[in-house]
Every structure is written in structure tokens, then in C-alpha cells.
Structure 1
Amino acid sequence: YHSAIPVAFTLLILAALFLKDNSTRTREVVDFPGVLALAVGVVTLILGLSEGEYWGWSSIRIIGIFLVSIASILLFVLIEFRSKSPFISMKLMKIRNVFLSNFTGLFAMTGMFFLFYTVPTLLEDPEPAGFALSIVNTGLVMLPAAAVSMIFAPISAMITKRKGPKLTIMIGTVVLFASYLGLYFNRGTPAAITEDAAIMGIGLSFIFVGVINMLLISTPRNEAGASTGMNVVFRNIGSAIAPAIGGVIETTYVTKAIIGVAPNGAPIYFSFPSSTAFSYIYIIGMAFLAISVVFTLLMKKIVMNKPSVEGPAKTEDIMLEGHS
């Protein structure tokens, strides 16, 4: 964590020096009731997923927690429909591409955090549960995923410009699905995991570039900030759900490994996630991505016409090419 401090500090300085804010500022009221309702809904959902194994999935507490989560999310939707300054604009969510893109981003972020949550565990756990790698070596295994993501970002942007964001999202979703197949069938060595993680980095690059562009050209320019900010909320929800689901599975399906020897010579065992746990997590990831494929197929194909030098693009400047 300390290694991120100088990087973050450098980025802060660069942002202050070079980023220019030319937007028109308006006074807005923070939608505190909506934020509170959404927070309660998400927190109770994660709490229920995390504690279900310990409290019992059919226990009154867990059932009550899930009912509170459902009620809070429904209340959040009602609040947003009536709010003058909604936290998540239901008006924008009525736009097909905005709705589908946001949930595609949620599933993609869930998939990314499944990777972050499972691969370091698998690499660092002692044998036979894992590969007993050091933190540094684990980071090196994960590094190619970030590297190829940066390399393929311009490529995905080029495809988006020429063919539209729908194709970019579809490519990313299919590639991400392939990476999960790799993690499911081919994770016997750190090198194999490096390959699978790199493939996932490619897929994520395509999905995130496609989603953000789909949102920008599916909404009026004056709603661009709201649509992209809303997508950040959905991504954060996905990043919160993934560890909860992964944690439940990793603590349910375990294997034992020797971590030391007691003074009397008896081996000391500890439970670690088993191969079955990782397999189930990757199956869930593939299920999420299968839903994302369906969502992407339902998106309208949109191509942005040549930008005007007279000002921001309006919805009339967007050309729809069918519904598939």
C-alpha cells in the first residue's frame, strides 16, 4: 500500500497542473435520502452474503437482512423517481443503452475484482492449496494484466471510433469470458495464471472504453457528467459485491495445509480456499458475463457522426443503426 503513495501524489500534482475544468458550475442539492437508501441496500446485501454461512442461510437474521436490502433498494428507486436532484437519474436509466451499459459495467467490475480477490490468494497460499509465492512475485504475475490493458486501450478506442461502442463492449465481454475459461481449466502454474490475467486485462480495457463511450453518445451532452458518474456508482457496487461472493465461497470450500510445527512436533494445519472454491467463483464470473453478452446484444448500435466545431453534440447528432 505504501508504494501507491508516491504514485498518487505525483498524479495529484499532474492533475492540478494540467487538467482544466471548463464546465459551467451549478448549485445542486445532494440527494441524501437516496444515497442513504442505496447505502443501506448495498451494505445489507453484502452483510447477508458475508454472514450467511455463519448465521445460516435460512436463519431469521439472514432472511431479515435480505428483506431489508430489497426494501431499501426499492425505496431508493422510488426516491430517485421523485427527487429533483437524483443520485442516479431514473430519466437516464430509461434510455436502453444507459441501463444496459451500467449493468454491463457492474458485471465487468465484478469480474475484475474476482480476479484481484482470487489470484493473489491462489498464488500466495502455501502448497498444496496454492503456489507459495511471495508478495513481490505475485505482483509480477499480475503486472501483465495492467500492462496489456494500457496497450489495448488505444486499440479499443480506435474500434469504437470506427465501428461504434457496441462492438467494443462485445469484444471485451467475449475476451473476458475466455479469460475465465482459462482460469477455470488452465491455472496449474503461475505462468498459466499470468496468461489468463493478461487476457482479462485486454477484455476489461475493451469493456470500459466501450461502456464510457456508449454512455457519452447515448445521452445529451448536458447529461454526460450525470451518466458517467452514475456508471462509477454501478462499478463501485460491482467491486463491493465481488469480494462478498468470493469470500463466501472461499470460506465454504476449503482444504488444509501445514503452516508450521508445534513445540511437541505436531504439524499445525490451517484452512485455505480449495480448488473447488476457485472453480465455483470463475463459474459465477462466467455466468455474469453471459448476462453481459445478452445485455450487449440488446443495445442499440450507435455511431457518432463527425463532431461539430460549433459546440457540444446533441442527441440529434447521434445516428442509430438498427437495434442489434
Structure 2
Amino acid sequence: PAGRGAGGGVMSTTGGSGAAVGIPMAAMVVQYASWHVMFWGTTAVGALGTALAWWAVRESPVREPGRFDMTGALGLALGLSCLLLGVSQGGQWGWSSPRILGLFVGSVCVLGLWWAQQLRAARPLVDLKLATSPRVALPHVAALLTGFAFYANSLVTAQLVQAPKATGYGLELSIVATGLVLLPGGVIMLLLSPVSARISAARGARVTLALGTLVIAAGYGIRIINSHSLLVILLGSAVCAMGTAFSYSALPTLILRAVPAGQTASANGVNVLMRTVGQAVSSAAVAAILVHHTSLVGGAPIPTLHGYLLAFAMAGTVALVACVAALVIPADPTLRDTRRASGSSDAPRDEAFEGA
């Protein structure tokens, strides 16, 4: 039990590391093979992951009686699919086009019906009463905002370093070189996850989450100061990765301590889902900014440096809002009572055990 928070944090951060490491691997496939190979490759990796999970992951002894809420699962999948498709394609299809408006209206209707169904269901897919409590809802909000801030780093950096040198700021790197620029971020996230777990054990997961989002904002501050030098770009990207490692490691710890054992899978699943929604919204927001701040370079519209700096400022501001959300998360009453009873400065080190 004492290692539960650290284990969950490492698992969460590994997901971000895999995304960061996957970018340069994907770049090599695209450059030396075909983008069609990407789909076959990810299918093979998914099959391998399924086999490894079946072979290596021990079964949980916790069981919830009742049938799986298939209606809730399908409703959530349909509603979110409409939402994310509209967000991701709005820039290309036009935000006021009938298709985009139809997707958004459909998403609102389906998710509204899904919400009502979840409140009536005997065994809902998501316990909405629990999910809307401050100790659970605020980590979900922080996850959405952190996902937004994290993804902007990879997305904007990849475009900026590939921009032509004629822009005055671009480095004109190849696809593979661009992937290598992002690779250190994935390694940093993986290496820092145990450090994040120690901070959570000593100071609490709220502090770790707030610290992580603050570090992300600092990384974007570096990018705003200088986005011409490759070394500074690497530094700013690495600082954002450090903050993401702290944030992603703290989020599942907060969820684990806020919900009953039988609902940890559902609550953590929603938390990861909120990160994904944040990333999709980040992609659309960054695209909207860059599309509206372009100049002709060699006859082609290329985003201006001002547009990139606006994207950095937007992501940094979102990270600061996530920091505020982290700071207002209610403290774990069990931990507070334990610390008060012990009167020891070492009491926070038992946080992971108490939460489990």
C-alpha cells in the first residue's frame, strides 16, 4: 500500500513518455517509409500491449457486483466522438459549417441524455455524484488544463523548428531531427516520475500538481523569451516536460485517495479522458492562432513568430489556471487527522499508505 501512489504516478507519467518517444519514431517511419505503415505499426504495438497485459498484469481482487453499463459506455463514446471530431476538424471544415455545428449540437444532446441515464442507472459507468465532488472534480479540471498545456509544447515546437530559415526564426529541421528535439522530453518525464512520487509523499499530491503546472508555465516563459536558439528551445521544452512529469504523476494519486477502491478504475479512466480532451482542444486552439498569424514565405503561408509566441503565452496561462485548480483541491481529511494526531513533521511521509 505504501507504494500505491508512486506506482500509479509512474504508470501515468509513462503514458506521457510514450507519447513523447513515439513522435520521433513516427517521424522516422513517415520519412523513410509511408504514413500508411503508421497504422499497421500501431496496430501491432496495440496487439503486443494486449498480450503483455494479459500475461503480466495481476488480476485485481476488487469486484463490483452488477452488470457492466454498456448503454453508458456507448453513450459516452458517441458523445465524446462527436465533440472531439468537431474540435479537431473545426479549423479545416469551418467552425460555422453545418457539419461542425451538427457535431457540437449532437454531442451536447447525446452527453445530456447520457448524464440523465447515468443518474438513473443502478450501476452507472461513472458515479456522477462522486465525480462532481470537489475532491474528484477539481483533479479532473486540472487534468484537462494540464493536457492542454502539455500538448501545446510538442505541437508548437515541432512546427517551429521545421519552419524555413527564410522566416527569420525557423531552423528548417527535417522530420527526424524534429522528433529528436522532442525525444529528451519523453526521457525526462520517465526519469522524474519517482522524484514526483517522493514529493507527493513528503508534501502531498496537491503540492506536486501545483508545482508541476507552475514549472510548465515557466517552460513557456523560456520559450517566449527566446525561440531562435536550438539550445534554448531544448531547454524550454525540457522544462515543460519536467512540469508534465510532476503533474501527470500527481493526478492519479489524488484520484486514488478521493474515491472508494471499487471506483478507482472508473475515476482514473475519466481523469485520463479529461487529459485527452484537453489535448484535442489544445490542438484546435493552437491551429486557430497560427492560421490567423501567417505571412507569405516563398509564396506559401507560414505562421509568424508572433503567432508562436501567442500560442506559448496561451498554454502558459492555461498552466497557471491549472495551478490554481490544484491549490483549491480540498485536503485529504484522513491525512489531516493523521498529521494532527502525530504532531510529527514526518507524518506526511505516510500519505501514500493512509490514502491506500
State the TM-score bracket (shorter-chain normalisation). Answer: 0.7 to 0.9
Q: Secondary structure at the match of 1:131?
A: coil
1:44 maps to what in 2? 86
Residue 273 (structure 1) aligns with: 303
Which residue, 273, 279, 295 being the options, matches 1:239? 279
User: Kindly tell me: are residues 84 and 282 of structure 1, through their superposed partners in 2, closer, same or farther at Cα, counting changes over 3 Å?
Assistant: farther
Structure in which a larger fraction of residues adopt helix: 2
1:104 equivalenced with 2:142 (yes/no): yes
Post-superposition CA distance 1:240-272 (Å, at most 9, x none): 1111111111211112222xxxxxxxxxx2111
Matched to 1:138, the amino acid is T
User: Which residue number corresponds to residue 75 of structure 2?
Assistant: 33
Percent of aligned pairs with the same amino acid: 22
Q: What does residue 310 of structure 1 align with?
A: none
- 2:329 corresponds to 1:299: yes
The answer to whether the 8 A contact 1:80-1:86 is kept is yes
Conservation of the 8 A alpha-carbon contact between 2:161 and 2:172 = yes
| Cα shift at 1:197 | 0.7
Contact 1:35–1:87, Cα closer than 8 Å, also in 2? no
Alpha-carbon distance, 1:290 to partner: 2.2
- Whole-Å Cα distance in 2 between the matches of residues 152 and 204 of structure 1? 10
1:34–1:87: 8 Å Cα contact kept in structure 2?
A: no
Aligned-pair distance for 1:106?
1.1
> C-alpha distance in 1, partners of 2:46/2:109?
38
Q: Which amino acid aligns with 2:206?
A: K
3-state secondary structure, aligned to 2:296: strand
For the 8 Å contact 1:42–1:69, the answer to whether it is kept is no
Q: Please list the CA deviations of residues 215-251 of structure 1 after superposition, one character each: whole Å capped at 9, or x if unmatched.
A: 0011111111111111121111112111111111121
Q: Report deviation, 1:37.
A: 3.0
The unaligned stretches of length 5 or more in structure 2 are 1-25, 30-37, 340-353
Distance of aligned partners of 1:82 and 1:46 in 2 relative to their CA distance in 1, 3 Å threshold: farther
Distance 1:155 1:29, change over 3 A: same
Structure 1, residues 270-318: CA drift from partner, whole Å, max 9, x if none?
1111112111211221221222122112112237579xxxxxxxxxx55
TM-score by length of 1: 0.80
Partner of 2:217: 177
1:82 deviates by 2.9
Q: Name the CA distance, whole Å, in 1 between partners of 2:171 and 2:99.
A: 38
* SS in structure 2 at match of 1:299: coil
Q: Normalising to structure 2: TM-score of the pair?
A: 0.73
- What are the ranges of 5 or more consecutive residues in structure 1 without an aligned counterpart? 259-268, 307-316, 320-324
Q: Whole-Å Cα distance in 2 between the matches of residues 216 and 202 of structure 1?
A: 22
In structure 1, distance between residues paired with 2:228 and 2:110 = 43
Aligned to 1:218, the other structure's residue is in SS state coil
User: What RMSD over aligned residues (CA atoms) do the two structures have, in Å?
Assistant: 2.9
Which protein has greater RCO, CA pairs closer than 8 Å, 6+ apart? 2
Matched, 1:143 2:178: no
Give the C-alpha shift of residue 85 in structure 1.
4.3
Cα distance change, pair 225–63 in 1 and its aligned pair in 2 (3 A)? closer
Q: Which structure: greater strand fraction?
A: 1
Residue by residue over 1:88-117, the C-alpha shift from the partner in whole angstroms, topping out at 9 and shown as x without a partner, is 431222221210111111111111211121
* SS of match in other structure, 2:235: helix
Deviations 1:178-212 (A, max 9, x none): 01111222211111110011101110010011111
2:251 is equivalent to residue 198 of structure 1: no
Q: Distance in 2 between matches of 1:88 and 1:15?
A: 24
**Residues 1:283 and 2:316 are matched in the alignment:** no
**Maintained 8 Å contact 1:34/1:79:** no
Q: Does 1:254 align with 2:294?
A: yes
Which residue in the other structure is 2:203 paired with?
163
Q: Determine the C-alpha separation between the residues in 2 that align with 1:235 and 1:88.
A: 17
Residues 33 and 79 of structure 1 are in contact (CA less than 8 Å); yes or no, is this contact kept in structure 2?
A: no
Number of equivalent positions: 295
